[in-house]
Amino acid sequence: MILLYCDDVSKRRVIHNYFRDKGVMIEAIPLNEFAVRSYACNASALLIVGDVPPGFSAFLCAEVPMISVSKYPVGDSMHFRDYESPELLDLLLSFSDSAECFEHNGVLKATPRGVAFLGYSLNLTPTERSILAFLVSCVGENVTFDEIGEVCLGDIHSKSATVSKHISSINKKAQCIGGRNMIVSPASRCYAINKYI
């Protein structure tokens, strides 16, 4: 997971959505000692956009690589002028473990940069991408709600409605491209990749 600090609320939302849509798991946090120490154990990098608050010390993030997108670099951070630059995206993807590559029947392909279905961009959230990758890895098998919840949502007790919501969203996006459901339910409380896609 990448931590994000941005001094502009409206820009923070745009940046968060931009990288999330590219498959980078990103969490916006305040830049203070409590927040940094709380999240550092699960973070692979810290992305700082804009000016840091007074009193922030770079040594708080000594264990986490820092990336600065601002007029001046912070501490020993790597420095980028444009957060939409391909170089920065590649760097964040290299730090992030959320962009899994997979392929199915030549019609569904995922790289760290995105997912394509029938040659068209399939704009998935990180959770949807994770669910799809898991189902592709289990082709020919029926996968239960609980298995999807445990592997993709980190919770074996995830509500079935939550899993169904994500799968419905994947199917809706796939239907706009291919006209049929990408994921089917061949048995009660189970899902599988549609073998006819």
User: Contact, 182 vs 169, CB < 8 A?
Assistant: no
First to last CA, the chain: 32
Q: Start-end ranges of CATH 3.40.50.2300 in the chain? A: 2-95
How do residues 107-152 score in pLDDT, each as one tens digit? 999 876 678 999 998 988 778 888 999 999 999 899 998 888 888 7
Q: How far is the C-alpha of 118 from the C-alpha of 63, rounded, in Å?
A: 42
Quick count: other Cβ atoms within 10 Å of Cβ 94?
A: 12
* Stretch (H or E) spanning 128: helix 126-137
CATH 3.30.590.10 fits 2-95, yes or no: no
* Average pLDDT of the segment spanning 4-17: 88
Q: How many helices (H) and strands (E) does the chain have?
A: 6, 12
The pLDDT of residue 132 is 92
The token duo for 130 is 């994770």
Sheet with 183-184: strands ordered across = 143-144, 190-193, 183-184
* Stretch (H or E) spanning 191: strand 190-193
How do residues 149-183 score in pLDDT, each as one tens digit? 888 776 655 677 788 999 999 999 999 999 889 99
Does the model's pTM come out above 0.85?
no
Per CATH, which fold does 102-193 belong to?
Arc Repressor Mutant, subunit A (1.10.10)
The pLDDT of residue 175 is 94
Q: How far is the C-alpha of 2 from the C-alpha of 25, rounded, in Å?
A: 6
Q: Is the pLDDT of residue 103 over 70?
A: yes
Q: Start-end ranges of CATH 1.10.10.10 in the chain? A: 102-193
How do residues 30-86 score in pLDDT, each as one tens digit? 887 777 777 777 778 889 898 887 777 766 666 778 888 877 777 778 888 888 888
